[in-house]
Amino acid sequence: MRLVVVSAGLSVPSSTRLLADRLSAATVGRAAAGADVDVEVVELRDLAVEIAHNFANGFPGRKLAAALAAVTAADGLIVVTPVFSASYSGLFKSFFDVIDPDALAGKPVLIAATGGSTRHSLVLEHALRPLFSYLRAVVVPTAVYAASEDWGAEGLPERIERAAAELAALMKGLSAPSTPSAPLKDDRDEKAEKSGFTVVPFADQLAALAAR
């Protein structure tokens, strides 16, 4: 399985990257039983110039193209952004704006954010979750927000573990081999077969009417 972590932290070191690392470590720990997990971290601050150029000329640079390919090929994503003006950062949004609109469809995503105050925690529900729902990703139920006072306090480690367990479960479920199932029959079809009637598809009935 391949786990890609997208971190939009701007400083070095950053609390955003710290949260991203803790989430990825917890996810690997939860998924480790019977599964190898390759982790790749995408630092958006290193791609800022290429993201801007992509908007101007429509072509990704070498590093941006590699990051987009990694996200597209991932079995699961962890995305973490700092909060600016009560929302995700512009760099974070710009990166996901240049991704193919269908790249995240059906992909498990764990959303997380960092900020200076707990008052910004609703950014997860009013900004991040709608963004990835729009992109048709499968967003895990537990989102993780870490304010400055959360580090070293009770609650954050438990939220990290719960969210990581949800992401790992989705990743393992998608990577498990599936067996084709028999097509489901409509109850009305079965009743018609038992009674000896022939079921005529509705499209065929419409075609017969149009031919009259």
pLDDT tens by residue, 146-159: 998 889 888 999 99
Q: What is the pLDDT of residue 210?
A: 65
| Weakly modelled stretches of the chain, pLDDT under 70 | 32-34, 174-212
Q: What is the pLDDT of residue 154?
A: 85
Q: What are the CA-CA distances from residue 203 to residues 66, 181, 187, 198 (Å)?
A: 46, 25, 19, 15
Q: What is the pLDDT of residue 205?
A: 64
In which element (H, E) is residue 3 found?
strand 2-7
Q: How far apart are CA 68 and CA 14, in angstroms?
A: 22
Q: What are the CA-CA distances from residue 37 to residues 11, 27, 54, 163, 176 (Å)?
A: 27, 9, 31, 17, 14
Report the SS3 class of residue 141: coil
Helices (H) then strands (E): counts for the chain: 9, 7
CA 78 to chain centre: 7
Q: What is the pLDDT of residue 184?
A: 47
Q: How far apart are CA 124 and CA 127, in angstroms?
A: 6
